Chains A and B, each alone.
Chain A
Amino acid sequence: MQEWSLSYRLGKGLRRLFRDKSGVMAFVGFAILLTYLIMAIFAPYLAPYDPVRRSGKAFSAPSKEHWFGTTNLGYDVLSRIIYGAKIALKIAFLAVAVAAAIGIPLGLISGYVGGAFDRILSMFMDAIYSFPGLILAIAIAAVLGPGVINVALSIAVIYAPTYFRVIRNQVASLKDQLFVEAARAMGARNFSILGRYILPNVLPSVIVVLSMNLADAIMTEAGLSFLGLGISPPTPDWGYDLSNGQRFLLLNYWWMILFPGLAIITIVLGFSLFSEGLNEFLNPNVGETRR
């Protein structure tokens, strides 16, 4: 009986989720992400081979033993993709966390305090924002050198302004609104106004930006490692595997580029769908759906 009611409630919730397509999109995206997350966490159990050890003949086409074929060094492509999810997600999450940790507090303070401090900081952030992100990341990564932390940092720098701008603009318009003024009139301290009245109001948009940035961060990481600025080989990394595969493209070893590419596409697609669905879900009045 209890089970019935539970499943009934679950079904009702799901029905509500699937009522419009934003729910479906978010759900599909979430399912993809969950798959990759599981892949990343349980990589040692899921991967059929060691990703950095010769497991068969070099350049063997997809077969029963090697579903996605092997590389020039005889590494198993599938295993490298599974392990690669770990690196990709690790860097993406780290980068976005750092970007948010820099951008959100600065945005809050800058928007709330205003004045010259706000103008100068905004100018800096706008300058970074207007500069092509990947090129900036390339420059920073080139200086910092390879490694998980370094790559994450160079990606974080280009996304911090996004948070800063979103938060700053919302705070600047929120701080003059009546409920904030009322709180101030009642003697609330600046710190608690920021934390209790303003932060909850800006958080929904932050969550959307967050999930969008994760998609972009994965893309940027792939780009950096494609250019040889990512993790040092032979650590499994999709971007590096692609650039490695390109060297043998003329020899028609298509599996070396097809599968790592698909891995990037699906995971980015997962994040995009998730953020897109979430966006319509959280801010239904964007006017996109209605005319």
Chain B
Amino acid sequence: MFFILLFMIFLVMRILPGDPVLAMLGGKAPMSVIEAKRHELGYDKPLLNQFGDYLLDIIKGDLGRSALTKRPIADEIADKLPATIELTIFGFIVALVIGIFWGAEATKRHGGVLDITGRVYAIFIYSIPVFWLGMLFQWFFGVKLKWLPIAGRISPLLRPDKITGMYLFDSLFTWNMPALKDASLHIILPSLALGLIISSVFLRMVRGNMVLMLSQDFVKAARARGIKENSVIYRHALKNAFVPIMTVMGLQLAALMAGAVLTETTFSWPGIGSYLVEKIRYRDFPAIQGTIAVYAIIVVAISIIVDIINALVDPRVRY
């Protein structure tokens, strides 16, 4: 799957209308310069050879150099990646908590308050663009109430020493309290906006799978043994619903990253999403291609992690 993804990215970037070299240099560059550039970038070789070279480079961890800054793209992305991971983790936690608890509680009483409000919430939240929710937060909590910072990851002077590149963890490890506080304040709004939007999908999915599980025989059998309703819901039904939920959540994590692109742009969050948008603005095609390839790597990594977690939860997969 990984190679297919890379191949498609490669095709899209290389074949779709618009010669990347022309785009880079502008239409008025003399032919000789264009040819030279083509040769330099290896664009004059047959397509499959180009793909082979590209693949080898990626395996070596080389994503090429940015046409703009001339720095290795892998290095540039490595600088930005921790910010995105940090945002995604916290957004995911927000979505997970809302999705699982609301979704599970909603199934306790069919047609009850939590069930109905949950369904309305899911449909409504799903219709809100994440960047608009972000702006609303910025305006309300930042401009009106002046409670929270609305842009960036941390105040420049407080940046903690780099360990993981994720400021919250770094400041925790180095016990740098002012930095921890500042970074926490910065991440609240973006992760909340991102998490709330994704939570609607989680909520629906958890609810749907739980309803399915609660109609199973072993749930009826557990009830017949007098097991507490909370145990029935969380231990019996939720644990069994976990495998389908995890699988879809893996896919949703990909959606979370897509949402992160918009969230990062909204909150000037310096992650790979902002990086991608910036590179598009300057038509830096090698960098765009590299970023997309990194996304593909992340998608594949997530699906592997999901499989591992599934095996941990479900004995049938493990044996």
Chain B residues with CB under 8 Å of A229's CB are 280
Chain B residues with CB under 8 Å of A177's CB are none
Q: Which residue of B lies closest to A227 (CB)?
A: B277
B residues 230-266 near A (Cβ < 8 Å) are 251, 254-255, 257-259, 261-262, 265-266
Q: Is the CB of B257 within 8 A of A130?
A: no
Beyond A133-B255, A145-B18, A268-B126, is A227–B262 a contact (Cβ under 8 Å)? yes
Partner of A228, one of B127, B281, B292: B281
Judged by a CB distance under 8 angstroms, whether A3 is at the interface is no
Beyond A288-B208, A288-B211, A291-B110, is A139–B13 a contact (Cβ under 8 Å)? yes
Q: Is the CB of A143 within 8 A of B4?
A: no
A276 to B277, CA, bound (A): 33
Partner of B211, one of A219, A239, A252, A287: A287
A258 to B138, CA, bound (A): 12
Judged by a CB distance under 8 angstroms, whether B305 is at the interface is no
Interface size class of A (residues with CB under 8 A): 35 or more
Chain A residues with CB under 8 Å of B257's CB are 132, 135
Judged by a CB distance under 8 angstroms, whether A155 is at the interface is no
Judged by a CB distance under 8 angstroms, whether B276 is at the interface is yes
Q: Is the CB of B136 within 8 A of A257?
A: yes
Stretch at the interface among A57-65, A92-100, A121-129, A202-210: A121-129
A128 to B296, CA, bound (A): 10
Interface size class of B (residues with CB under 8 A): 35 or more
Judged by a CB distance under 8 angstroms, whether A272 is at the interface is yes
A249 to B265, CA, bound (A): 14
A69 to B254, CA, bound (A): 38
Judged by a CB distance under 8 angstroms, whether A172 is at the interface is no
A142 to B303, CA, bound (A): 27
Q: Is the CB of B299 within 8 A of A140?
A: no
Chain B residues with CB under 8 Å of A243's CB are 131
Q: Is the CB of A123 within 8 A of B16?
A: no
Q: Is the CB of A276 within 8 A of B123?
A: yes
With most chain B CB atoms within 10 A of its CB, the pick from A131, A219, A264 is: A131
Q: Is the CB of A287 within 8 A of B215?
A: yes
Q: Which residue of B lies closest to A265 (CB)?
A: B127
Q: Which residue of A lies closest to B123 (CB)?
A: A272
Judged by a CB distance under 8 angstroms, whether A138 is at the interface is yes
Partner of B212, one of A135, A228, A287: A287
Q: Is the CB of B17 within 8 A of A143?
A: yes
Judged by a CB distance under 8 angstroms, whether A178 is at the interface is no
Beyond A127-B1, A264-B129, A291-B211, is A134–B295 a contact (Cβ under 8 Å)? no
Judged by a CB distance under 8 angstroms, whether A246 is at the interface is yes
Beyond A242-B131, A246-B135, A272-B126, is A132–B299 a contact (Cβ under 8 Å)? yes
A261 to B138, CA, bound (A): 14
Judged by a CB distance under 8 angstroms, whether A23 is at the interface is no
Partner of A123, one of B1, B127, B215: B1
Beyond A135-B261, A269-B127, is A143–B8 a contact (Cβ under 8 Å)? no
Beyond A127-B4, A272-B123, A291-B215, is A142–B280 a contact (Cβ under 8 Å)? yes
A-side residues, CB < 8 A to B, are 123-124, 126-128, 130-136, 138-140, 142-145, 215, 219, 222-223, 226-229, 239, 242-243, 245-246, 249-250, 252, 254, 257-258, 261, 264-266, 268-269, 272-273, 276, 287-288, 291
The 4 A-B residue pairs with the shortest CB-CB distance in the complex, in nearest-first order? A134-B258, A132-B258, A261-B132, A268-B127
